[in-house]
Amino acid sequence: MEKYSLVLEGGGAKGAYQVGAIKALKKRGLEIECIVGTSIGAINAAFIAQGDIDKLEELWQTLSFQDLMDINNEFIENIISMNFTSEILNEAAKKFVKAFKERGIDTANIRQLLEKYIDEEKIRNSDIRFGLVTYCLTNMKPQKLFIEDIPKGKLVDYLMATSNLPVFKRQKIDNMSFLDGGAYDNCSVEMLYDAGYKNIIAIKLFKKRNRIRNYSKLKSNKDLNLNIIVPSEELPFILNFETKTLNKLLKYGYIDTIKQIDKLDGYKYAIYKIEDEEIYKLKDVFNPIFSLEFVQYTKSSYKIGDNIISVALEKSLRKVCMFLCGVNTKSFKRQVLSLIEYVAEKGNVSKNKIYTFDDLIIRAKKVANKNIEKSKGIEKAAYYFIENIKEDE
């Protein structure tokens, strides 16, 4: 079986997504020969290299900000939700002053977790080669280190170094100060390629930001087989270690990766392969009576003699998708899926499972039926469309 190397992007609490993604890849038979990471990606990579993915998943399932920073979880949740009461602001001011005086937020709890769970000997003897990226502030040079380059007994130090965010107390190793590796290369495909690895999977944590160093140059190498797992939507804030959020990210990473490697349909949701006829028979919804109502909800212009069905399909449907979903396309399939997913999302239909097309429609219809009477305008048009899809469709 062909082997692959993995590179895990840095991104704080977003890192839970990677654990679900790796479990999905392994379920599909992926064999890993090397794994490198930056920041939280390096910490995840260390657990994978030592063969403890289940333990890593357990940690993410129960992790909280208090475990990492010794800061009350409720306080952090209020900050993230922007619940700025006078008490919260006073507490925030005190913590800011303390961090300033101590030259950064204390990371002793993070070190304790790593010392408890990271087994350096296992990693050094593992069949999976491990590496990380950090940045030395003392000599202003990046360091891309494989396990054999890290002095024995110093692995936890370097894991602390690669994840040393600017707001943390500076991590020092042998009187040298280090900064989070993301300052240089947050997703080091280059490190793997330069080491001779050509089959590479990068698991990113940012949808829109491409932080792969020298990406264009790397892509021009014809011998590089690079596959990138990208979240289907932006993941929560890097310091959002709220336990429920982390558990959602674990599931989301798994489903999202299965969706990408199995080439499932859907944009925000994972949907088993949809046949073209399943989509195009939904045009039957656009009879003259429905089309006239749909056009009026969207306030699309038309004149006497126009084919009202054509106006609804070619003008109004596109307008609804642009306004509600930010999708500007003539593709009927893209338009229909966007609206179904929009309505499902409005009703908080879970994204952490794989749906058949019929099942997602049924769930979206329940949302539409519940909300159509209190909606208006373009949003009502979306609910009206979903509501009129036949149950057996």
pLDDT digits (tens, 9 = 90+) for 236-283: 988 888 889 999 999 999 999 999 999 999 999 999 999 999 999 999
Examine the pLDDT at 91 and tell me if it is beyond 80.
no
Higher pLDDT, 89 or 85: 85
Q: How far apart are CA 71 and CA 55, in angstroms?
A: 24
What's residue 224's pLDDT?
Answer: 97
Compute φ and ψ for 355, nearest 5 degrees.
-110, 150
Overall average pLDDT of the 42-57 stretch: 97
Three-class SS of 207-254: CCCCCCCCHHHHHCCCCCEEEEECCCCCCCCCCCCCHHHHHHHHHHHH
pLDDT tens-digit readout, 281-324 = 999 999 999 999 999 999 999 888 889 999 999 999 999 999 99
Dihedral angle computed from the Cα positions of residues 248, 251, 256 and 261, in that order, rounded to the nearest 10 degrees = 160
Where does the pLDDT of residue 90 fall: very low under 50, low under 70, confident under 90, or very high at 90 and above?
low
Residues 383-393, mean pLDDT to the nearest whole number: 83
Which has the closest alpha carbon to 375: 318, 324, 317, 314?
324
State residue 66's pLDDT score.
Answer: 74
Residue 88: its pLDDT value, please?
A: 46
d(CA 80, CA 74): 10
pLDDT at residue number 284: 94
Report pLDDT digits (tens) over 27-45: 999 999 999 999 999 999 9
The whole-angstrom separation of Cα 362 and Cα 280 is 17
pLDDT for the residue numbered 98: 53
Per mean pLDDT, which range of 90-99, 287-296, 326-335 is the poorest?
90-99
